[in-house]
């Protein structure tokens, strides 16, 4: 389906859903434009291949060196922009470059594009760098237009990004991944966060771009949504004798509908390119190609801002992501369901009346037909001669700009396949690119991007090789929001955040000041000093504290009935659990057992005896105390000695008898 056939709804997913209504008619109309799409021997228009880097920039968490090929790339061809220009106040023509095709083991020309430039950014083009092992690709990137010098940094540590660990507070938010930020002489982790999604705009997160001279940090920026970015043209495979002939000039004539970003899009991180078309066969997965849904699910590899925005646009459709995966698997397992790979194959399929999958053939059409559609979201005007001269002069400036960059960054032959690892920062003056977007404040209100999000706070707890706190600015004070994949993120917080109040402390640290039941903590600290006083473990630690507090209140007023002395024994196990509620269960189990035992009885009995004895002794036993003094008074003149006192009594009894 072509982008021009439907008014822009702000979402590629909507186009994909409605594509089946119009694609058949478009597919049948393609042969009518054959005279406007000449196919010459030696030049083959491809309906699959790399997407121009300036149109869509990939984001890898751990950037790697570019691919290396043995063959030397040809000199740039003479390319001129089409005769129709995209209307806009921030539009420019960005020239094409040579890209590598694995299956053909040869270079193909990635055609130039009409680009609605990202506000406040400048395009730094990529280049092929000659090394001992062959030729290595160094990717381009969108730099800040105000940059006056470029800093080449040491290799950043392995990314700690693992996706969000908490849900978004609103369905209107999208996740922004974290990244390492170089400060002074070390890297510090800036955690990811949720931010509000913006209609018509896509947030490109901060990332690094590899160069042979070091790593370049690319701050985050707002870019247009894919439907508003411009015009993407098909790549071309040239025969060497075709583009090398004198007077050869190439101008793109075939448009790739932007619906491919919702239908047939792939990522190849090791080449830093998006790809479109037929890369469904399993062997492409082994070559580093990823379907967007697969790249999105692997949160440790990289981030796809285009797919993330599509997910947000289709957030109300619960089956959308599942359907995307099902479509990919179906095309992977059914070769006939895949789109054609060349313009010639597409035309042949369009003529076939038995063609069933019309949608697979409708994302490519001639540029002349594309510009005539008045219902499309984009407007075109004839390219004026002064503008054409300006773009051609700009192209020559870009060639020099890329050559200067290669001279500055490139590793000359003899240095090996890889550049030596940088250990220090090197800053170099940076000449402004000939292609740069207007500043945000220079654009009209309807064309200006949203404000940049505030600078994120650096996470001091995150160290290289560790796991940072990725919960973002809305993270809670507790640690209950553990990563759903069971990653040890919260373990980093526990030892480093003792000030947080109600965090989970699985280690059972007795020194935590904010555990429930703080009143019992001082008593636990005192028990080790009293432990040697008792023979059994833990029993004497409780009794010295309990007996003085329980006895005067409960034993003394109930001393007469001995049966009531059992009541304080029942109170002891009731008080103990209250003191031990914050303690682990291991301490609760053994403590009530020695308190139920009759061991406290010998301690309770001897203490009330000296208190009870003095009061009953004068009342209950007065006679034994009076026997000794009254003995001599009764028998003052007795003959007997105290030892014969018993015999005298017997004699008296006999006399009486």
Per-residue pLDDT reduced to its tens digit, 619-649: 545 555 444 444 444 444 444 444 444 455 4
More confident residue, 352 or 619: 352
Predicted confidence at residue 582, as pLDDT, reads 45
- Checking if the pLDDT of 168 tops 70, the result is yes
List, for residues 591-618, the tens digit of each pLDDT value: 555 554 555 555 544 555 554 455 555 5
Contact criterion met (CB below 8 Å) for 69 and 134: yes
More confident residue, 91 or 419: 91
Residue 457 pLDDT grade (very low, low, confident, very high; cuts 50, 70, 90): confident
pLDDT exceeds cutoff 80 at 526:
no
What pLDDT band is residue 466 in, cutting at 50, 70 and 90?
low
Read off the tokens for 322.
């599942």
For the chain, what's the residue count? 657
pLDDT at residue number 301: 86
Of the two residues 340 and 559, the one the predictor is more confident about is 340
The residues that bridge with 255 in the sheet, in sequence order, are: 233, 365
What confidence score (pLDDT) does residue 54 get?
A: 98
Model pLDDT, residue 434: 96
Q: What percent of the chain has pLDDT over 70?
A: 60
Element at 25 (helix H, strand E): helix 23-29
Lowest mean pLDDT among 94-108, 177-191, 383-397, 497-511: 497-511
For residue 644, the model assigns a pLDDT of 46
Domain layout of the chain by residue ranges? 3-58+65-156+200-265+272-279+340-442, 518-600
Res 354: pLDDT? 66
Tokens matching residue 190: 């800036």
- Residue 374 pLDDT greater than 90, yes or no: no
pLDDT of 612 reads 46
Going by pLDDT thresholds of 50, 70 and 90, the confidence category of residue 578 is: very low
Q: What is the mean pLDDT of residues 338-347?
A: 88
pTM: 0.67
Q: What gap in Å lies between CA 359 and CA 122, rounded to an integer?
A: 36
CB 488 within 8 A of CB 479: no
Residues 437 and 87: their CA atoms lie apart, in Å, by 15
Evaluate whether 404 touches 430 at the Cβ level (below 8 Å).
no
What distance in Å separates the CA atoms of residue 252 and residue 111, rounded to the nearest whole number? 7
Burial class (CB in 10 A: 0-12, 13-18, 19+), 614: exposed
Angle, nearest 10°, between helix axes 521-530 and 539-550? 110
What integer pLDDT is reported at residue 593 of this predicted model? 52
Give the model confidence (pLDDT) of 207-221 as tens digits.
999 999 999 999 999
165 or 457, greater pLDDT:
165
Instruction: For residue range 174-209, list pLDDT tens digits in order.
Output: 999 999 999 888 999 999 999 999 999 999 999 999
Mean pLDDT of 491-508: 34
Rounded to 10 degrees, the C-alpha dihedral 445/448/450/454 comes to: -110
Sign of CA dihedral 275, 280, 285, 290: positive
Residue 184: the pLDDT is: 84
Q: How confident is the model at residue 75 (pLDDT cuts 50, 70, 90)?
A: very high
Q: How far apart are CA 189 and CA 157, in angstroms?
A: 10
**Residues 80-127: pLDDT tens digits?**
999 999 999 999 999 999 999 998 899 999 999 999 999 999 999 999
Read off the pLDDT of each residue in 25-49 and give the average, rounded to a whole number: 60
Mean pLDDT of the chain: 74
């Amino acid at each position: 389906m072509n982008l021009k056939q439907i008014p822009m709804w702000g979402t590629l997913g909507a186009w994909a859903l409605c594509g089946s209504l119009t694609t058949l008619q478009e597919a049948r109309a393609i042969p009518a434009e054959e005279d406007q799409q000449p196919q010459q021997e030696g030049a083959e228009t491809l309906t699959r291949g790399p997407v121009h880097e300036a149109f869509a920039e990939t984001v890898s968490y751990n950037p790697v060196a570019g691919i290396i090929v043995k063959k030397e790339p040809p000199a740039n061809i003479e390319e001129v922009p089409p005769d129709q220009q995209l209307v806009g106040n921030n539009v420019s023509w960005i020239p094409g470059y040579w890209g590598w095709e694995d299956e053909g083991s040869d270079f193909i020309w990635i055609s130039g594009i009409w680009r609605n430039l990202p506000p406040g950014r400048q395009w730094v083009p990529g280049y092929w760098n000659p090394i001992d092992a062959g030729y290595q690709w160094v990717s381009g990137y969108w730099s800040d237009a105000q940059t006056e010098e470029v800093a080449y940094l040491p290799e950043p540590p392995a990314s700690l990004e693992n996706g969000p660990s908490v849900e978004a507070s609103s369905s209107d938010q999208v996740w922004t991944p974290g990244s390492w930020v170089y400060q002074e002489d070390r890297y510090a982790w800036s955690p990811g966060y949720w931010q509000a999604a913006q209609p018509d705009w896509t947030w490109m997160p901060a990332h690094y771009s590899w160069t042979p001279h070091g790593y370049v940090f690319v701050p985050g920026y707002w870019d247009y949504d894919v439907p508003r970015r411009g015009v993407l043209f098909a790549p071309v495979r040239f025969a060497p004798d075709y583009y090398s002939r004198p007077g050869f000039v190439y101008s793109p004539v075939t448009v790739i509908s932007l619906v491919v970003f919702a239908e047939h899009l792939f990522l190849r991180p090791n080449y830093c390119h998006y790809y479109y078309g037929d890369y469904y066969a399993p062997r492409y997965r082994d070559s580093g190609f990823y379907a967007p849904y697969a790249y999105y699910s692997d949160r440790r590899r990289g981030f796809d801002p285009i797919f993330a925005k599509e997910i947000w646009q289709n957030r109300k459709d619960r089956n959308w992501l599942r359907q995307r995966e099902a479509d990919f698997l179906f095309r992977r397992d059914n070769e006939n369901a895949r789109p054609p790979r060349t313009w010639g194959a597409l035309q042949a399929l369009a003529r076939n009346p038995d063609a069933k999958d019309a949608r697979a053939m409708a994302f490519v059409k001639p540029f002349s037909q594309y510009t005539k559609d008045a219902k499309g979201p984009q407007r075109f005007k004839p390219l004026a001669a002064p503008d054409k001269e300006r773009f051609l002069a700009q192209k020559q400036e870009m060639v020099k700009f890329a050559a200067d960059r290669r001279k500055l960054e490139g590793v000359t032959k003899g240095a090996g396949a890889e550049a030596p690892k940088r250990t220090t920062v090197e800053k170099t003056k940076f000449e402004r690119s000939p292609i740069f977007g207007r500043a945000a404040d220079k654009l009209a209100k309807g064309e200006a991007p949203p404000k940049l999000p505030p600078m994120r706070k650096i996470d001091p707890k995150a160290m290289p090789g560790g796991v940072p706190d990725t919960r973002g600015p809305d993270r809670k004070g507790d640690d209950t929001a553990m990563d759903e994949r069971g990653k040890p993120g919260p373990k980093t917080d526990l030892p480093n955040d003792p000030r947080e109040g109600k965090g989970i402390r699985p280690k059972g640290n007795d020194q935590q000041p904010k555990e429930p039941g703080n009143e019992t903590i001082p008593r636990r600290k005192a028990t080790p000093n009293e432990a040697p006083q008792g023979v059994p473990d833990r029993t004497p630690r409780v009794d010295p504290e309990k007996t003085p507090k329980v006895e005067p209140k409960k034993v003394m007023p109930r001393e007469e009935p001995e049966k009531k002395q059992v009541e304080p024994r029942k109170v002891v196990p009731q008080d103990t659990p209250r003191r031990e509620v914050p303690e682990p269960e291991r301490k609760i189990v053994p403590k009530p057992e020695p308190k139920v035992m009759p061991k406290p009885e010998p301690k309770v009995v001897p203490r009330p005896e000296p208190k009870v004895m003095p009061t009953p002794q004068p009342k209950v036993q007065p006679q034994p105390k009076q026997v000794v003094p009254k003995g001599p008074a009764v028998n003052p003149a007795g003959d007997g000695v105290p030892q014969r006192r018993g015999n005298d009594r017997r004699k008296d009894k006999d006399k009486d008898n």
